[in-house]
Amino acid sequence: RKRQRYVEKDGKCNVQHGNVRETYRYLTDIFTTLVDLKWRFSLLVFILAYAVTWLFFGLIWWFIAYCRGDLEHLEDHAWTPCVNNLNGFVSAFLFSIETETTIGYGHRVITDKCPEGIVLLLLQAILGSMVNAFMVGCMFVKISQPNKRAETLVFSSHAVVSLRDDRLCLMFRVGDLRDSHIVEASIRAKLIKSKQTQEGEFIPLDQTDLSVGFETGDDRLFLVSPLIISHEIDERSPFWDVSRHQLEKDDFEIVVILEGMVEATGMTCQARSSYLADEVLWGHRFTPLLSLEEGFYEVDYGGFHHTVPVPTPACSARQLAAAAARRDAHLYWSIPSRLDQP
């Protein structure tokens, strides 16, 4: 049975929240809620916010004119209305739009004989500014979100296990397709695997950190050209006892997370991907992409996902380290014995 992904290859987290009872919490942070909405709902809220306020204040302007009797003295030039040239609800609605958007065509204008109109004018100007600030702020944040920047950050389709400096390493490749770079880029990797504790507690989707150079600073990347990220399988690694045969039967997921600031906007961007057990190739190595041309380096992204088989022991890293220790011990004791020979 194919394992259900925790994180999709495109970075989408495959988790849905159900039975959330405290839905009022979404309203306490209404700004973030509106930003997180899909575009069609965001545009609907944007249109409704302005349309409702225009209609609401237009209705109040019409109601003031109706109560003062302005609509009954439309042809009376001696009568001073609250708003000149306001002859019905449609004109009151248009005056509401002109007031809130500060258009001011000049045909309909408030007079100084209407104190309630002056108060309403001030109130609509203040509330209209608040609506403008809130809705324009939501749309600006939504448009400038760096989510799409992650689309040009690519991960290799497979991870590989092979020797590097006589040590087994788990490796994958990352690259940036844009000329504008990711500033302060850093990489993390987590092993997602269910486990059972010694007390019998079952932990589904337990998360374990995979070291990709945090102690040495190698996790901070200068992502100008594609880089191969390496996790050395040592005694602290969860793959310390995993051989090639065990890897083929194992069930796990490796989630990789690349974070950094977008150089053009200064906003934080995060790109994610994952590798299932059958997407980890034992005994493979990534093909080189970088070549030196006349005056510059060229990256051939056509081979970004390509790997080649290389000789790699099928045993676990523990067994490999034990064999190397025995070989070194044998060499250590054989040298003096040879010196003792006549």
CA 218 to chain CA centroid, nearest Å: 23
313: pLDDT strictly greater than 60? yes
CB atoms within 10 A of CB 72: 11
- Whether 338 shows a pLDDT value over 50: the answer reads no
d(CA 321, CA 307): 25
Residues 138 and 269 in one domain: no
Percent of the chain whose pLDDT exceeds 70: 95
Q: Residue 5 falls within a domain, yes or no?
A: no
Pairing of strands 182-196, 167-176: unpaired
Q: For the domain that residue 159 is a member of, what is the CATH number?
A: 2.60.40.1400
Strands (E), 123-166: 153-155, 159-164
Model confidence over 171-222: pLDDT tens digits?
A: 999 999 888 888 889 999 999 998 888 888 898 888 999 999 888 888 999 9
- Last residue within a domain, chosen from 106, 121, 144: 144
Q: What mean pLDDT comes out for the span 141-150? A: 78
User: Which pLDDT value is given to residue 342?
Assistant: 47
Question: Which CATH number do you get for residue 37?
Answer: 1.10.287.70
In the chain, what percentage of residues exceed pLDDT 90?
Answer: 43
| CA distances to 181, 226, 235, 263 from 178, in Å | 7, 11, 38, 11
What residue has token string 């909405």? Answer: 37
Is the CB of residue 62 less than 8 Å from the CB of residue 92? yes
- CA 150/CA 113 separation, integer angstroms: 59
Q: Which residues are 161's β-sheet partners? A: 170, 282
One domain, residues 167 and 101: no
Domain boundary among 144, 166, 195: 144
Confidence of residue 326 (pLDDT cuts 50, 70, 90): confident
pTM over 0.85: no
Average pLDDT over residues 278-298: 90
Residue 4 has pLDDT above 60, yes or no: yes
The pLDDT of residue 62 is: 93
State whether 172 and 257 are in the same domain. Answer: yes
Long-range contacts of 310-315 (CB under 8 A, 24+ apart): 310/162, 310/163, 310/283, 310/284, 310/285, 311/283, 312/161, 312/162, 312/163, 312/168, 312/244, 312/282, 312/283, 313/163, 313/168, 314/243, 314/244, 314/245, 314/282, 314/283, 315/243, 315/244
Q: If you search the block for the tokens 């997407």, which residue do you land on? A: 279
Reply yes or no on whether the pLDDT at 126 is more than 90. yes
Q: How many CA atoms lie within 13 A of 262 on its CB side?
A: 18
**115-135: b (≥16 Cβ within 10 Å) or e:** eebeebbeebeeebeebbeeb
What is the spatial distance between Cα 275 and Cα 156, in angstroms, rounded to a whole number? 9
pLDDT digits (tens, 9 = 90+) for 52-105: 999 999 999 999 999 988 888 888 888 888 888 888 999 999 999 998 888 877
Average pLDDT over residues 32-41: 86
On whether residue 59 sits in a domain, the answer given is yes
235-253 average pLDDT score:
91
- Structural domain boundaries enclosing 280: 148-329
* Residues 111, 53 share a domain: yes
230, 291: one domain:
yes
| Structural domain count, the chain | 2
Residues in Cβ contact with 325 at an 8 Å cutoff, skipping those fewer than 6 apart = none
Regarding whether 125 and 62 lie in a shared domain, the answer is yes
Q: Give the pLDDT score at 334.
A: 57
Sequential DSSP letters for 68-118:
HTGGG-TT-TT---SBTT--SHHHHHHHHHHHHTT---SSS-B-TT-HHHH
